[in-house]
Chains A and B, each alone.
Chain A
Amino acid sequence: MAGNTLRSKQRRSALRTLAFLSPWLIGFTVFFAYPLVSTVYFSFMKYDGFNSPVWNGLGNWSYVFSDYPLFWPSLGNTLWLVVVMVSCRVLFGLGVGMLITKIKTGTGVFRTLFYLPYLAPPVAATLAFVFLLNPGTGPVNTILGDLGLPTPGWFNDGSWSKPALTMLAVWGIGDLMVIFMAALLDVPKEQYEAAELDGTSAWQRFRFVTLPNISPIVLFAVVTGVIQAMQYYTQPLVAGKVASGIIGGSGQAFEPGYPDKSTLTLPQLVYNLGFQRFDYGAACVVALVLFALAMVFTAFLMRRRGGLIGTGD
């Protein structure tokens, strides 16, 4: 009898949990699990959306890796972005975070000004930067020219387009600034006081007090930065389109990754293959490469930061 009530109590609590989770269980099945399985299926099929899918074996895979001319350049670009853009963002974010903790007058105003660019909608911010960095008449090159400095081609020069995108990314550093600021304020003051009494230099205090205390946050910033860099889509696409001057129904085809494929990233290939070439099979192959990369770093993030998940007990 007592066992029976216990069991019915357990069943009720299981039903209750299911009820609370139900929106997400449906969402997970319909908008995550099903399409993911379907992506794997289509990666082995020849499919253009009009004729029925036909088994293609590893054909799509070998096409993407050996014959599709845009795959390796965009993987190279992603690697560049992971190394240079992520490092720049973390270093500047840490620098600005440290600066804001040391500013004693007008802190609120400075913090708001530093944070604002992060809020600029990506398309709007990219359009603004393409204008600012316009090689001929943009304000940046105007000022550089007046100072007698070199005036690069920025978004119109294959070797300067990624540095220009990096500047855009560093401009929107507000998220990292806030995270680093919170971490820096959490470092115990006594440790600085002890270090000061030991007669250490400012660099030594940074190296042996600040850095060990905030290193989990630095790691978090690096890993999430890498994941973001692999998903980098809107800014490079819009920059390439706007700088090339070919948008909308002008009849000309946009050359993906303008200039010289330098702004191509993996997510853009999914669009190019799927929605411009109607090769859904090959698009799914690139999608799976993207998935594998994203999950490797997500797994790393979850393992290294148990604190991120917490148990709540």
Chain B
Amino acid sequence: MSQQLLDAPGRPSKLPDATTPAARTARRKAVLHWIAVHALGVAAALFFVLPFVFLFLTSVMSDQQALTRDLTPNSWEWGNYTKVFDTPGFLTWWKNTLLYAGLGTLLSVLSSIPVAYALAKFRFRGRQLSLMLVISMMMLPPQVIIIPMYLFWAKQLDLSGTLWPLIIPMAFGDAFSIFLLRQFLLTIPNEYLDAARVDGCGEFRTLLRVVLPMAKPGIAAVALFQFFYAWNDYFGPQIYASENPAAWTLSYGLESFKGAHHTDWNLTMAATVLVMAPVILVFFFAQKAFVEGVTLTGVKG
């Protein structure tokens, strides 16, 4: 903001006559402002980053040292990470998480695209009502309907102890994905669709050939959100998978890891790092799509 104000008319940012006292004061003020803002930035960065740093430092401490007040490791015990992978079940949790997150994401994106397209581009009676119902579903705490859902999956379909009660519903449109995709599709001008229709494309071909290529950033954002949702989900696996350790996911297993390694904070922190790392790696590769998605949820309309 200060930069913009300095660039404002009547106050040239390039100061050829920097010798005048007024110009010197202005420049000194700008420098002080820069220092204050960046000092505050560094302080905030420390608040956000230090937990990761302590987490990592503890993950490479020895068993005994992790229980002391020490902040930095005496010897770097990289073997802690191999020990985590050797823990029975840890690789199964990885496999299950990838299945839940991967298949769930694929299904929800595929099933949500046509719904979002209809809500964004078709005119029909009940469209506004449908949209309001989608938003209500999106805002519904999962605990509200969990008793009948659990009875349905466990008693009628006998699928408790697996992750299928979490994956199968994804094939029937996920409310959040529908909403986000619809918001994105609204930004695609109708002229493109009309042109395709004039060329004789049916709605399905229009969606496939014209809309989808233009909607790639929106689809990427939705896929990322869905993947992260499944990766982070704790309540779902707790309800359906807790009775069967072979179906646990990383987020659910991590807690029991702490229970099994009661005093081994170093191993628990190493496992925690291993659960966080993939999400952060994915973020670095897809930062733009992700930030765009966050903005889309709240700002554009």
- Whether A294 contacts B265 by the Cβ 8 Å rule is no
Given contacts A178-B295, A248-B256, A295-B136, contact A110 B152 (CB under 8 A): no
Interface size of B in residues (CB-CB distance below 8 Å): 106
Q: Is A298 an interface residue (CB 8 A)?
A: yes
Contact of B301 among A35, A131, A287, A307 (CB under 8 A): A307
Contact of A122 among B112, B117, B251 (CB under 8 A): B251
Chain B residue nearest to A117 (CB atoms) is B48
Q: Is A242 an interface residue (CB 8 A)?
A: yes
Report the bound CA distance from A12 to B142 in whole Å.
36
What distance in Å separates the Cβ of B228 from its nearest Cβ neighbour in chain A? 7
Chain B, residues 35-59, CB within 8 Å of chain A (1/0): the string is 0011011001101110110110010
Chain B, range 149-194, C-beta contacts under 8 Å to A: 149-152, 155, 169, 171-174, 178, 183, 186
Report the bound CA distance from A220 to B298 in whole Å.
7
- Whether B173 contacts A24 by the Cβ 8 Å rule is yes
- Whether B301 contacts A305 by the Cβ 8 Å rule is yes
- Whether B255 contacts A247 by the Cβ 8 Å rule is yes
Q: Is A196 an interface residue (CB 8 A)?
A: yes
Report the bound CA distance from A227 to B131 in whole Å.
19
Main secondary structure of the interface of A (DSSP, over half): helix
Q: Is B87 an interface residue (CB 8 A)?
A: no
Report the bound CA distance from A307 to B299 in whole Å.
9
Instruction: Report chain A residues within 8 Å CB of B173.
Output: 23-24, 27-28
Report the bound CA distance from A146 to B259 in whole Å.
30
Given contacts A31-B169, A102-B1, A247-B259, contact A23 B144 (CB under 8 A): no
What distance in Å separates the Cβ of A218 from its nearest Cβ neighbour in chain B? 11
Q: Is A69 an interface residue (CB 8 A)?
A: no
Report the bound CA distance from A120 to B258 in whole Å.
17
Binding site for B on A (CB under 8 A): 13-14, 16-17, 19-21, 23-24, 26-28, 30-32, 34-36, 38-39, 42, 49, 96, 99-105, 110, 112-117, 119-125, 127-129, 131-132, 137, 139, 142-143, 171, 174-175, 178-179, 182-183, 186, 189, 192-193, 196-197, 217, 220-221, 224, 227, 230-231, 233-234, 237-238, 241-242, 245, 247-248, 250, 266-267, 270-271, 274-275, 280, 283-284, 287-288, 290-291, 294-295, 297-298, 301-302, 305, 307-310, 312-313
Known contacts A20-B203, A102-B1, A171-B48; 10 further A-B pairs (Cβ under 8 A): A20-B115, A99-B40, A100-B41, A110-B44, A139-B71, A178-B295, A233-B143, A270-B144, A271-B143, A302-B132
Can you sample 21 A-B contacts with CB below 8 Å?
A: A14-B124, A20-B118, A24-B111, A27-B174, A30-B172, A31-B172, A35-B152, A115-B291, A116-B49, A121-B251, A127-B269, A142-B71, A171-B48, A183-B299, A193-B8, A234-B234, A238-B234, A241-B255, A247-B259, A288-B144, A298-B139
